[in-house]
Structure 1
């Protein structure tokens, strides 16, 4: 079945918007000599000012959007995360919180309300959000649900420098533009996008970026350990995510960086059998693998290589504090105790929360695919979230 017949129909306004994004990307391709890297394509489709998926006004989260994140599934997620943040805060001289890509604002709200209960509120809860539409949603939600805490919340346009405290990013790394690499016999190519027959099409070219080529060369033996001929292997290289971690390390004086996302360590990410990579698109709760479909209206993501993130972190004088599944992290941090605060006899409240907990920790749902990783600077205290189930050896 084709995408066009199986997906929900876009409105005329949405289609016109997508056509504008398509035209923008086409013009960029033509201005660049007929070819752009996929990283450039993904950057324009997601972040072109006022037009890209994250820069325009379309609803992204929840039932009316394209995907659902853990904070949208249940307040249990943010409330449990708050317990880990409270433990970290106790060890810090300054314990501000900086959240990247705060979505609807639900995670910030749940964290702040839980920290208020334990008298562990940060002096400042900073939010750095690239989407004007999401920033507006965050402000509306927090103003309406926690007006008494608004004096602690501040929206930023750029990284604070310096910063001490906790840096939090839930499902941020997966939306960073990636390069597509192609290993073909002895050649290493970069897969880019051309405009052909009135539509986008793939075209592979030799890799010109020296950093990209160096990483691809190191991965070659892992991708084709038996040195088979005729093998084509396609995967993603996320230079932006490594750069992001280096930027955070530069501004962090003392504190912890906590990242939550779906992905693997390097050996699993670039497994010989994962020869089509991890690129995934989300449109109205339909997942598929065609990034050319309705540019500007759909999310484009790739899984995170947590080994590459850790290499960048350690090279930037950060210390790995733990790496585990979302399930282990939430259970270690106390999610079952938070659920137990709702009496089991109160079926109308307890049962939905119990079902939500299962979605967050069940291996078949979010429990195993999503990972939590933490890095510290001037911070060595063991974190409660990594008490059992630490998988740092897999990085």
Structure 2
């Protein structure tokens, strides 16, 4: 049984762009998006007219040479689509470096002086961590970066050319001992969409809708009609029970309730657990926006958290210029913690980003610049405020720390929220 939801049609790109007054992509970018649209359309036809949303999200983000993270467009900073904490201030990386040295020294058995970062973006976070470690005389043996994007790896290589201990990997190592960092990594993993039907839960996938008969009345042109083929359309099918089980108290949610589940990120967490379990000990620190399950699946969050980012504009349409925008969802941190535990790790801590960074020493690092020197101090203080303010990143972003054979310093216990997972 298949249920069709014609929520997106050929007007989607035109309407979203006009409503938000989004910048028009270059002709080259439009061409790349057309190619990706053809690729995804072929995949849909090859799979009898339907692919899961996770498959669609995988293709728009990671299709070779055409996906958002595998193409050549700038992703981060003022010229990209969004800004991450390392781009705001080097004190973010310096704080994580300070924590890493503590973790490597207070473990049950001294950890290897190794670090590993997933999805290092421009390389700024690695640069700031390594700069802080070098300034403190801490010799890091190797700093691994697992990076799937050739374009981002090239930027990282340029940024980090003075740090010979950096090594790039295309996949997780089989075993690792040390400290793992994942800043805004989990939210870049494909999610499945589930919607509560009248009788059963449905899995929302992607098919090809019929062109609108009225499109010609708009005076179609290449600018207003980005794709000369049928548009993408949501298509619902009965959901696999394994996906439904990821939603706590699923049967209590109202008809029409739409949400995401995270099987890919959960699988990734189990892989991280296997990697650390095969080593002699270590900790993994994940910073991302999200909630524990008790907040993720609240009744009022009935349209989920899926969001797209294009040139610093946020909007809800994942079919807008495929490959040219980020598609993301908030993280269910309870699911991530359970996956880590299932893989043999301990949950060492969970809290909001503000509390975590302050407990890790962010304020002390800020005070290395004297407040009596306002020209230098105030810009740094303003940047720190963005990281810790509840109105900015401080509360929306959470931090989950999991590991084996080590623990967070005792002071982290005062703001711990593990009881909410």
1:94 Cα deviation from its structure 2 partner? 1.2
Look up the SS of the partner of 1:114 in the other structure: helix
1:210 Cα deviation from its structure 2 partner? 4.6
Residues 311-348 of structure 1, C-alpha deviations (whole Å, 9 max, x = no match): 11111110010000000011111111111111223222
Aligned match of 1:15: 30
Summarize the Cα distance change of 1:223–1:122 in structure 2 as closer, same or farther, 3 Å threshold.
farther
Unaligned runs of 5+ in 2: 1-13, 212-229
Aligned match of 1:228: none
Look up the SS of the partner of 1:51 in the other structure: coil
Q: Which moved more, 1:195-204 or 1:62-71?
A: 195-204
Decide whether the 8 Å contact of 2:246 with 2:335 is kept in 1: no
Q: Tell me how far apart the structure 2 counterparts of residues 278 and 140 of structure 1 sit (CA, whole Å).
A: 35
1:42 Cα deviation from its structure 2 partner? 0.3
1:222 Cα deviation from its structure 2 partner? 5.0
| TM-score for both structures, normalised by structure 1 | 0.94
Aligned match of 2:409: 383
Structure 2 counterparts to residues 205-284 of structure 1, below 5 A: 205-207=237-239, 209-216=240-247, 218-224=248-254, 231-252=255-276, 253=279, 254-284=281-311
Aligned match of 2:200: 187
1:212 Cα deviation from its structure 2 partner? 1.6
Look up the SS of the partner of 1:68 in the other structure: coil
Decide whether the 8 Å contact of 1:222 with 1:270 is kept in 2: no
Aligned match of 1:309: 336
Structure 2 counterparts to residues 34-113 of structure 1, below 5 A: 34-90=49-105, 91=107, 92-113=110-131
Residues 24-49 of structure 1, C-alpha deviations (whole Å, 9 max, x = no match): 11111111111111111000000011
Q: Tell me how far apart the structure 1 counterparts of residues 72 and 28 of structure 2 sit (CA, whole Å).
A: 12
1:115 Cα deviation from its structure 2 partner? 1.1
| TM-score for both structures, normalised by structure 2 | 0.88
Aligned match of 2:235: 203
Q: Which one of 158, 164, 185 corresponds to residue 151 of structure 1? A: 164
Higher relative contact order (CA 8 A, sep 6+): 2
Aligned match of 2:318: 291
Q: Tell me how far apart the structure 2 counterparts of residues 113 and 94 of structure 1 sit (CA, whole Å).
A: 19
> What RMSD, in angstroms, separates the aligned Cα atoms of the two structures?
1.4
Look up the SS of the partner of 1:205 in the other structure: strand
Aligned match of 1:118: 136
Summarize the Cα distance change of 1:60–1:18 in structure 2 as closer, same or farther, 3 Å threshold.
same
Aligned match of 2:222: none
Unaligned runs of 5+ in 1: 225-230
Residues 261-302 of structure 1, C-alpha deviations (whole Å, 9 max, x = no match): 000000100111100000000000000110000000000000
Decide whether the 8 Å contact of 1:332 with 1:384 is kept in 2: no
Summarize the Cα distance change of 1:204–1:382 in structure 2 as closer, same or farther, 3 Å threshold.
same
Decide whether the 8 Å contact of 1:84 with 1:385 is kept in 2: no
Aligned match of 1:141: 159
